[in-house]
């Protein structure tokens, strides 16, 4: 297993079952905004995740990578609280299991990979649903809720689509609307499941840069699953490789994105080069 080694202990770190060291090589739970301990998920009587441990510092960006079916989406769904799990998920030291859904939604926002969207609802009204945890029971959204929503739509190039029904959107537009709803939630922890798969290059860059800016400006803690390993290596400051429902490796992108680990866990032949800023870039090689 690889363990993180960025200087200053500022890296989001994750360890294999039973491991308990972080970037600085010591237990440093207090620095971690998001902690996952011994998380296991059973679906349809099958153990899909087992003994997963994560530590993500406040303001960190953790990329969860792994082959199809490894358990990445299940991990995010469990952390988001939409799946039953055993183990513990803690935000700023507090177990989220004990929180009511509204309270949890103020702490953790989650953009699923491809949720079913109500075809007749407008883009604006769907994004506005992200404000639900702030709207009193039997109350209505107020001006601030609408302003936050409008501003997020603007930043994601969606303002022109605000009145459009969701059923009339392209795949990439739908994906950005799902992200918009999560950002409108203004939670300190943001979970994004494959946020760029349906996006063209320009929108991939726009979404990743926006998330990074929010992370830096507001101290958001970000966890994304990403199949594009180079993209993951460019933005994340820590990486966890999930394989068959367990953490197989964790560390900095350079530590996890090695030809050996990728070869073993993705059954792919790759060449890894070092890009700008020392960030790893992964290239497929023909056998």
Which positions lie near ligand ATP, rule CB under 6 A? Answer: 43-44, 46, 48, 66, 68-74
Taking the chain, what is the end-to-end CA distance rounded to the nearest angstrom? 26
What 3-state class would DSSP assign to 74?
helix
Q: Nearer to ligand ATP by C-beta: 71 or 195?
A: 71
Q: Nearer to ligand ATP by C-beta: 113 or 205?
A: 113
Are 20 and 27 within 8 A, CB to CB? yes
Q: What angle do CA 163, 212, 188 make, to 5 degrees?
A: 80
Least distance from C-beta 169 to ligand ATP, angstroms?
A: 22
Q: Nearer to ligand ATP by C-beta: 73 or 122?
A: 73
Q: Nearer to ligand ATP by C-beta: 111 or 158?
A: 111
Q: What angle do CA 274, 246, 95 make, to 5 degrees?
A: 105
Judged on CB neighbours under 10 Å (0-12, 13-18, 19+), 204 is middle
Least distance from C-beta 77 to ligand ATP, angstroms?
A: 8
The DSSP H or E segment spanning 281 is strand 280-284
Least distance from C-beta 88 to ligand ATP, angstroms?
A: 19
Q: Nearer to ligand ATP by C-beta: 55 or 194?
A: 194
Least distance from C-beta 121 to ligand ATP, angstroms?
A: 25
Least distance from C-beta 197 to ligand ATP, angstroms?
A: 9
Q: Nearer to ligand ATP by C-beta: 182 or 184?
A: 182
Least distance from C-beta 270 to ligand ATP, angstroms?
A: 17
Are 233 and 255 within 8 A, CB to CB? no
Rounded Cα distance, 278 and 88, in Å: 34
Rounded Cα distance, 258 and 263, in Å: 8
Helices (H), 86-142: 101-107, 123-128
Q: Nearer to ligand ATP by C-beta: 127 or 232?
A: 232
Which two structure tokens, joined as six digits, stand for 163? 């009145």
Least distance from C-beta 238 to ligand ATP, angstroms?
A: 18
Strands 189-193 and 221-225 come out as parallel
């Amino acid at each position: 297993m690889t363990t993180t080694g960025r200087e200053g202990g500022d890296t989001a770190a994750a360890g294999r079952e039973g491991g308990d060291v972080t970037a600085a090589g010591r237990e440093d739970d207090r620095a971690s905004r998001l902690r996952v301990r011994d998380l296991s998920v059973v679906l349809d009587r099958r153990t899909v995740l087992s003994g997963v441990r994560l530590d993500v510092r406040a303001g960190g960006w953790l990329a969860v990578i792994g082959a199809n079916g490894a358990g990445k989406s299940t991990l995010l769904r469990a952390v988001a609280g939409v799946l039953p799990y055993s183990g513990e998920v803690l935000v700023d030291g507090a177990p989220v299991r004990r929180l009511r859904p509204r309270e949890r939604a103020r702490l953790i926002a989650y953009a699923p990979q491809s949720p079913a969207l109500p075809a007749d609802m407008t883009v604006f009204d769907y994004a506005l649903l992200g404000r639900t945890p702030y709207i009193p029971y039997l109350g209505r959204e107020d001006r601030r809720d609408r302003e936050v929503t409008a501003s997020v739509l603007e930043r994601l190039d969606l303002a022109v689509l605000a009145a459009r029904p969701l059923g009339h959107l392209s795949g990439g537009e739908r994906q950005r609307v799902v992200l918009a709803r999560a950002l409108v939630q203004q939670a300190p922890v943001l979970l994004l499941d494959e946020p760029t798969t349906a996006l063209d290059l320009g929108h991939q860059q726009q979404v990743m840069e926006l998330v990074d800016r929010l992370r830096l400006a507001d101290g958001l803690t970000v966890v994304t699953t990403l199949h594009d390993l180079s993209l993951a290596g460019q933005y994340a400051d820590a990486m966890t490789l999930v394989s068959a429902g367990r953490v197989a490796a964790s560390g900095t992108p350079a530590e996890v994105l090695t030809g050996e680990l990728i070869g073993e866990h993705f059954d792919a032949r790759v060449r890894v080069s070092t890009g700008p800023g020392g960030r790893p870039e992964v290239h497929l090689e023909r056998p």
